[in-house]
Amino acid sequence: MSLDKLIEHCKEGDRKAQAQLYRKYAPILFGISLKYSRNKTEAEDNLHDSFMTIFDKIDQYSGKGSFEGWMKRITVNTVLQKYRKEEPLNLVSENTEEEVAVDSGYEDINLQTLLQYIQELPNKYRLTFNMYVLDGYSHKQISEKLGTSAGTSKSNLARARMILREKVENERTKAIIGLIIFSTKGWI
């Protein structure tokens, strides 16, 4: 069935069409949801909530632009709305004017480990980091989406990067100590 027909059937409330749409796009939207969530279980909940919104608002999709892009925006907005309700996303200080550059030299860190570190960030830092670094939002756009100021966005990004840098450095230190212990035991 073509995408246009599938969308039309979903607009009519056809459960089989909705299931087919879910199977087709769930992996893509789950990746987005996982990026903004603290863990896999929370990502699954966010994905479910996103699809509920998608099916509820599918009749608002006009056929202009990418349907996948439309669903991605709903997914991001659903997750952000959830976190806005959960906790305020402001940081105490909004005075950070300098932008912290992305560290290079961390190419050797395991991607799964890095994703885990990002998911462990507090909500306000994780959301800002993902939106700025991974999705290319500007600080102005982030502040509008999260209901904060651009200064808060910059400050949250700087703090997220600092936390990630510390975690990566700790990981490297553990790896070096492990190599030293292994090498020393081999010599005894």
Give 93-109 pLDDT, tens digit per residue.
Answer: 444 333 333 444 445 56
Annotate 163-176 with b (16+ C-beta within 10 A) or e (fewer).
Answer: bbeebbeebeeeee
Half-sphere exposure (Cβ direction) of 161: Cα atoms closer than 13 Å? 17
Q: Is 97 inside any structural domain?
A: no
Phi-psi region for residue 63, left (φ > 0), alpha (ψ -120 to 50) or beta?
Answer: left
Note down the domain range covering 122: 111-187
Q: Is 179 inside any structural domain?
A: yes
Is the predicted pLDDT of residue 15 greater than 90, yes or no?
A: yes
Band (pLDDT 50/70/90 cuts) for residue 168 is confident
Question: pLDDT digit string (tens) for 126-136?
Answer: 999 999 988 88
How many domains, the chain?
2
Q: Same structural domain for residues 139 and 81?
A: no
Q: What is the pLDDT of residue 39?
A: 86
Q: What is the pLDDT of residue 95?
A: 42
pTM value?
Answer: 0.64
Q: Same structural domain for residues 81 and 26?
A: yes
Q: What is the pLDDT of residue 186?
A: 55
What residues have CB less than 8 Å from 61, skipping those under 6 apart?
Answer: 7, 67, 70
Q: Is 98 inside any structural domain?
A: no
CATH number at residue 80: 1.10.1740.10
Q: Same structural domain for residues 68 and 125?
A: no
